[in-house]
A = this chain, B = another copy of it.
């Protein structure tokens, strides 16, 4: 089944708001196994609404329309729908009594324009509004359905599942497939490299839809499958997941709503390990991410943002002569920071970053984006040098992400060759 979406309002065509309703309806349709061939938005003008309705109905079995059902002068959707399909308008007395009842219950002052909310095109089926005064409606035209609800997001969230979906499912019974989807989160591969690594899996032929979503500094891979049989849909998704995971291997660090800090944190908790962090160029971002995880106080002991050389010396015992000879941005300093924060915190692990976030401060040997990340566990200290080429903020984000990936691989016992 194909569902078009038409959202109406000058706030959309004027760019005042992002279209949350269209995204919600599209997501809901996809989850039902319905296709969305087109989404459209027009302003509050009858001619534009009529033209849009006719265009989208040429591409779909039904259209879900939001917006323009309120009491004010710019709410013209009902009239525009009636005009587009040559229908008369009538007042539904039951709905009118219901709207008046709401005004009485909340002791609101009745104004005559509110009666507009009880007017519908001839033949319309009313879609009740459990949270507001503006009811929705559906009309049939040429075997297709136009379902109209208000544009208030909270009302859409109720009326879509409670009113519109049952109505559409009843009108087009039968063939909805089971839909399963999964997002795999990757780091350290470009979008093109991910694409290339998966190219010969020929997901299209297997009925697997693959989407790539760059989400700096991560790349997310969304797999979606549809099948008439639930078990088969599950199997298809599992097979596709295994294929992607085996191709991208350790570049995949999380699934769906999992985060990097959440996965690493769960391993710390599971392995009964504690951690402390010493940050220079990331300025607290590693600690911020680690502490975004509920319950992180179990394993996160402290973080030190040692921005000045004095702080590196006083808090972490990095000797002045190391800072002088090798510089604050050096492998030697990074190692001593990781070892120092581990020692003074009494934790199992110490994680450290030092680098030049930019935009200034680079030298020929160490240009902006030069970063050292170190991880100490008391037996040995791992240290890696990186050269990032981004803005200041992105260099910080990239460094924090890389540090957490280093930690994750350590906890998983994976070789580190990032």
Contacts and interface: CB of A to CB of B under 8 A. Distances in A.
Nearest to A25: B15
A70 B355 CA distance: 31
Interface string A207-221: 001111110000000
Work out how many copies of this chain go into the complex: 2
B15 A28 contact: yes
Interface in A312-334: 314-315
Interface residues of A, number: 103
Contact of A52 (B23, B38, B111, B213): B38
Nearest to A304: B304
A20 interface: yes
Which secondary structure dominates chain A's binding surface? mixed
A211 B39 contact: no
Nearest to A24: B15
A157 interface: no
A113 B212 CA distance: 15
Given A29-B15, A74-B211, A306 B311 contact: no
Contact of A292 (B72, B279, B283, B303): B283
15 contacts: A15-B22, A15-B36, A72-B192, A111-B196, A279-B284, A282-B288, A284-B284, A284-B305, A287-B287, A294-B359, A301-B307, A302-B307, A302-B308, A302-B311, A303-B303
Interface of A: 10-20, 22-30, 36-43, 48, 51-52, 55, 59, 70-74, 105-109, 111, 113-114, 152, 190-193, 195-196, 199, 209-214, 222, 224, 277, 279, 282-288, 290-292, 294-297, 300-308, 310-311, 314-315, 344-346, 357-360, 387, 389, 392-393, 396
